[in-house]
Structure 1
Amino acid sequence: TTFGSRKVCSVRRAVDGMARISVDRGIHKPQAYASDGSDAIGFVQFWGNSPALDLIEDPQASAYGPAAVGLQQGARSELTVEELSEGGRHVTETSCVSLAGEDVNILLVGAGDIRHILRTVARLRRLVPNRKVRFHVYEKHLEVMARHIFFLHLINDTRLPVRERAEIFLSLCGNTLVREKDSRYLSHIAPEFVELMTDSSEHPLSNVLDLTHLKYRDRDSLHDIFKGWSAPFDVEALRDARCRGYYRDRYDYRKNLIDSDFQTNVKPVAGIIHWLHYKEFCLTGVAYETRLGTYNTSNPTLASYTDAKDVKRGTSVQVRGFWGDIINSPYHTFGTTTDPVDRPRLFKTSSSQYLHHETDIAHFNVTAYLSEMDSSQPYHLPPETPEEHAFPYQSPLESRDVPEDVFLEGYHEPGRGSRTADNFAPLSAGFSNVEVVPLSGDLCDVLRKPKYKGRFHRVFVGTMSTVPLLEELGLACGDPGSSSQEAKRIRRLPRFEMPDSFGAKREDCALGAAMERGGTLIFETMKYQAHLEGATKLSFRHRIAQAGHLAGWHLLDDVRAVPNLECDMKALRARDLEKDATDFLRFVVG
């Protein structure tokens, strides 16, 4: 019955959303041989489609070229340590805001996960010691917010060794099927979150989470979501039905379509992703596997609801199912970039093959973030050894991995009834000056509240959360930059197409009003989307550039950020331009 209702579900919302964020949807229709691309991305974004950033000072925010080049080199294959550091300084110098001596307010809009929080907090005590950092986290779907709260608890659960926390984190973050031990951990911890929703909570995480910005009905919804994690959830059947709806007549040949997506849109920008791993994710939903674990238990945190219509009665209903992404893997969040100091050894190749893959990189990165968060000391690979340069090329990760399993043998969770303030594990030291503020509701209405005026120094906006901004600026329908015949033939930067329109709708933009003058906005691009053509991705960049131009924001590194888009551009040329463009669009509020 769930997927009987699914057939009449209001898919047009997602279709219309995709139409709004591209300049011309007819340029190249994604997945024309199977179905519309919105069937693949789903309605709920459970993970992001870009690398984790340190939102206070991160060179990756200004990097360009492929994040992890494969056999096909881009025009800018990789950045050196000095160049990345220079890019990081450019972010700080370009911004007019001086963060010295004041609290830092960061807004995350539709990030999909807590990757940016994790990386920012890990480096916080080294870069900005004794500074209060406040993350305001907005998510349209409360199921995603519930996952944020759970993962905040997990990374702060100091009873577990760092390695075990990293494994559970990646498993529950990106896998539809998890290990039994992951499921047991979740079922044991979930009741704590029910108590956390109350004002009188003694949970240590209540010192980090500020729930006062949520309405009580949203708290009640989170309460129900946490309790719902104990309900049966057949994610295998639900995901298979999603795949059948997406591939349609070519379901039996889906491996060929997966291979086409990988060769066309994944490998050129992230060659570190292994084909077998990407195929396994697309077929089963399992992205991260570790050691000898068996992944056969449903991940209930991926359960969510979407609007549908009852087939018999014609009334609106909420349908529970798996509405996440089935084609864009979670590998880009932690698995396709790493610290420039460790990159040459982790991205080393032999016979045109990487010696490590995206799962190795992800485990190393998350372990590094958690370790640095606890100790405030940088976590890097050990010194090089001669064995790394001689066949069979010993991995530096082998000597870095510490056999922490011995600690797990004696690890015992206290019973549910005994969880009090006395036996809660202390929070990680990295969260001593950190506060997380969940936000929900209509984004524009929330940001128009007086308490948020001029509040934020940094803002990150996810790809699928840009529609409210475009609607507010009148860019959801029509294109203000296509009036001239030249613009219809070739699309250039907004400062060339419509120079007189800079800041024309500054007063209409709630997001701009919530920014402190000189603050930095970082927009996620579609660079790592696996199901969209290059021209569609480029047109998205132009539409966001138009929004920033109308709002009075200055686009940084605009030549590489927004390449020219020709109406008759070949698909290969468009993909190459997108591949070599910046990973993010960065603006400074003027």
Structure 2
Amino acid sequence: MTDGFGSITYWGFSPALDLQEYVSATNENDLPVNILLIGAGDCRHILKTIAQRHRHRKREIKVYVIESNLELLARHMLLLRIALLSPQEMGLQEKTRLFLEVYGNSLIRSHSNQFIMDQSNEFIKCVTDLDYMKDHMPIFEMSSLKFKERDQLEAIFKFWRNPDGKVFDICKHWDDRLRHHLGQRYDSKRGVFDWDHSMKLCEKGAQMVNIHEYCQWRSSGIAFETTEGNYDSPNKTLASGLLIKTDRGGIAKRGYWGDIVTSPYITFGIECDEESLLKTANGVHVKTSKDISEYNVLSLLYELTNNEKYVLPKQEKKHSKKETATLTEINEEEEEEESRLKLDESAQGSIKIEDVTIHMLPLNSASDLHKKMKYQRMFHLVYFSNSMVHLLNSDISKVFYDNTSVIIETAKFMLELKKEYSVQYVDKINAMAAAVGCQASVPCNPEKDAFAKFVFCRKNDVD
């Protein structure tokens, strides 16, 4: 069927990055910063980059996205639409909860499901009429997609807006994946989850992922849950098709084919610039990965709205040692402060993002980019996920700008890989990078680093 990591990457296996931190030295003039993301899986890097753009010298940012599945492009649209909702449409706290709920939960609240259905109608108009998209979601550019891909996106959004929850029984799909993955160990699955948490996840440096939240997610697929509302509607954004091989040939089957081992906590929930959230007591983290995820997403959404860094309210810092503190708490004064932002009236109350464009490129088009003149020597930063790094070759290097930053996701958080395989993987990507003219900007430790970072040096004899 598929392994524990799945065949579609709904969330990445590494923390979110502010990519401008790595392009500042490669683009010293005021030309647009061109970033190519190959197989990132989610929009975490895009969100953090555009949210923290005020921390850097003002420049136009163009992000080009290549994924292996159209469902991922559809989720990019939905999650970034949530992030760009104006304060008048949704408060910061509720927006944070909705984002994480859609991002990492198998089951969502009924009003969250209704939100997805309503947005799906808008998305259908966008993908079928690019002029409409330019007026209502100007941050996205889809003109490079094939007509067939836009038609398939329309079909995905039509599936999302289907009010019948029975069309996607994710509880059954999740349990089927667990049974197939665990086999004879299914009846003792809690012990398997405990082992994976203590002997794999914590050994990777993710001790802040609480054992209870991890086991709940492994059992049910629900990662981010609050006490408000019932989680009883299937998250149809996690549905995708897969061709199952049988004796009678390939059979297309819709189900959940994403990660059931590592968890969505890695992307926003293990790193934090607020030290009070990383404190420990008797060797145990006081705050959970869910708490850290909420803080990180809330702070990014706040920065996106206000163009200034989010500061944790003093009352929360005073109670940082107590579990009763609420990370997403925000006072009325801060809510009012959000409304200072000028809104783009033509974008239906969305936050106005100037000089940022997200270009969606055709599926699996990385191997053909170098054939188009407009992409040659264009990108100042290129990111490869660990599932797409095989595309790093001499052809793709033709689209690198001089001194391009190349970031490759390591296998650190691929929990099912043995330690020696993770080391071999880093050795392999070091060799692949060197073969195309990349030099390591910093040495990569396969046990500690989630990314391997390189700088491309174009040789004079390379055209």
Could you say whether these structures have the same fold, taking a TM-score greater than 0.5 normalized by the shorter chain as the test? yes
Give, as a single letter, the amino acid of the residue that structure 1 aligns with 2:418: E
Cα displacement (A) at 1:205? 4.4
Q: Is the 8 A contact 1:204 1:426 kept in 2?
A: no
| Residue 291 (1) aligns with residue 213 (2) | no
| Residue 214 (1) aligns with residue 107 (2) | no
Unaligned 5+ runs, structure 1: 1-10, 12-37, 59-90, 408-420, 474-508, 563-577
- Which residue, 179, 182, 199 being the options, matches 1:247? 182
Work out the CA distance in 1 between the residues paired with 2:75 and 2:104.
Answer: 11
Deviations 1:102-123 (A, max 9, x none): 1100111111111111111111
Quote the residue 1:272 is aligned against.
Answer: 208
Work out the CA distance in 2 between the residues paired with 1:458 and 1:423.
Answer: 31
- The 1:377–1:386 alpha-carbon spacing in structure 2 relative to 1, beyond 3 Å, is closer
Q: Is the 8 A contact 1:349 1:355 kept in 2?
A: yes
Cα displacement (A) at 1:532? 1.7
Q: Is the 8 A contact 1:209 1:435 kept in 2?
A: yes
Q: Is the 8 A contact 1:517 1:589 kept in 2?
A: yes
Work out the CA distance in 2 between the residues paired with 1:386 and 1:458.
Answer: 37
Q: Is the 8 A contact 2:136 2:346 kept in 1?
A: no
- Which residue, 450, 455, 461 being the options, matches 2:373? 450
| Residue 47 (1) aligns with residue 11 (2) | yes
| Residue 195 (1) aligns with residue 118 (2) | no
- Which residue, 311, 326, 330 being the options, matches 2:260? 326
| Residue 124 (1) aligns with residue 58 (2) | no
- Which residue, 64, 82, 88 being the options, matches 1:136? 64
* Count of residue pairs brought into register by the alignment: 440
Work out the CA distance in 2 between the residues paired with 1:446 and 1:167.
Answer: 37
Quote the residue 1:85 is aligned against.
Answer: none
What secondary structure is seen at the aligned counterpart in 2 of 1:372?
helix
Deviations 1:79-127 (A, max 9, x none): xxxxxxxxxxxx85xx5x2343111001111111111111111111231
Give, as a single letter, the amino acid of the residue that structure 2 aligns with 1:528: F
- The 1:101–1:530 alpha-carbon spacing in structure 2 relative to 1, beyond 3 Å, is same
| Residue 106 (1) aligns with residue 35 (2) | yes
Deviations 1:399-423 (A, max 9, x none): x53379x99xxxxxxxxxxxxx978
Larger Rg: 1
Cα displacement (A) at 1:315? 4.1
Give, as a single letter, the amino acid of the residue that structure 1 aligns with 2:371: R
Q: Is the 8 A contact 2:62 2:359 kept in 1?
A: yes
Quote the residue 1:183 is aligned against.
Answer: 113
Q: Is the 8 A contact 1:448 1:514 kept in 2?
A: no
Quote the residue 1:362 is aligned against.
Answer: 293
Structure 1 window deviating more from structure 2 (115-124 vs 152-161): it is 152-161
Cα displacement (A) at 1:385? 8.3
What secondary structure is seen at the aligned counterpart in 1 of 2:387?
helix
Structure 1 window deviating more from structure 2 (225-234 vs 212-221): it is 225-234
Give, as a single letter, the amino acid of the residue that structure 2 aligns with 1:112: G
Unaligned 5+ runs, structure 2: 337-343, 458-463
- The 1:273–1:125 alpha-carbon spacing in structure 2 relative to 1, beyond 3 Å, is same
Cα displacement (A) at 1:393? 7.7
TM-score (norm 2): 0.89
- The 1:265–1:385 alpha-carbon spacing in structure 2 relative to 1, beyond 3 Å, is closer
- Which residue, 245, 264, 282 being the options, matches 1:351? 282
Give, as a single letter, the amino acid of the residue that structure 2 aligns with 1:355: V
Work out the CA distance in 2 between the residues paired with 1:359 and 1:325.
Answer: 18
Quote the residue 1:493 is aligned against.
Answer: none
- The 1:386–1:459 alpha-carbon spacing in structure 2 relative to 1, beyond 3 Å, is closer
Deviations 1:332-369 (A, max 9, x none): 11111112xx2x21111122222211111111111111
Work out the CA distance in 1 between the residues paired with 2:350 and 2:74.
Answer: 19
Cα displacement (A) at 1:273? 0.5
Work out the CA distance in 2 between the residues paired with 1:369 and 1:100.
Answer: 27
Q: Is the 8 A contact 1:39 1:246 kept in 2?
A: yes
RMSD between aligned alpha carbons? 2.4
Q: Is the 8 A contact 2:34 2:63 kept in 1?
A: yes
Q: Is the 8 A contact 1:265 1:530 kept in 2?
A: yes
Work out the CA distance in 2 between the residues paired with 1:253 and 1:388.
Answer: 38
- The 1:386–1:317 alpha-carbon spacing in structure 2 relative to 1, beyond 3 Å, is closer
- The 1:202–1:331 alpha-carbon spacing in structure 2 relative to 1, beyond 3 Å, is closer
Work out the CA distance in 2 between the residues paired with 1:245 and 1:385.
Answer: 44
Quote the residue 1:460 is aligned against.
Answer: 383
Cα displacement (A) at 1:448? 3.3
Work out the CA distance in 1 between the residues paired with 2:360 and 2:168.
Answer: 26
Work out the CA distance in 1 between the residues paired with 2:252 and 2:200.
Answer: 34
What secondary structure is seen at the aligned counterpart in 2 of 1:587?
strand
- Which residue, 398, 422, 432 being the options, matches 1:513? 398
Cα displacement (A) at 1:434? 0.6
- The 1:433–1:259 alpha-carbon spacing in structure 2 relative to 1, beyond 3 Å, is same
- Which residue, 75, 85, 88 being the options, matches 1:147? 75
- Which residue, 533, 542, 545 being the options, matches 2:427? 542
Cα displacement (A) at 1:447? 4.1
Work out the CA distance in 2 between the residues paired with 1:160 and 1:167.
Answer: 11
Work out the CA distance in 1 between the residues paired with 2:383 and 2:245.
Answer: 34
Q: Is the 8 A contact 1:155 1:165 kept in 2?
A: yes
Structure 1 window deviating more from structure 2 (225-234 vs 198-207): it is 198-207
Work out the CA distance in 1 between the residues paired with 2:332 and 2:227.
Answer: 12
Quote the residue 1:166 is aligned against.
Answer: 96
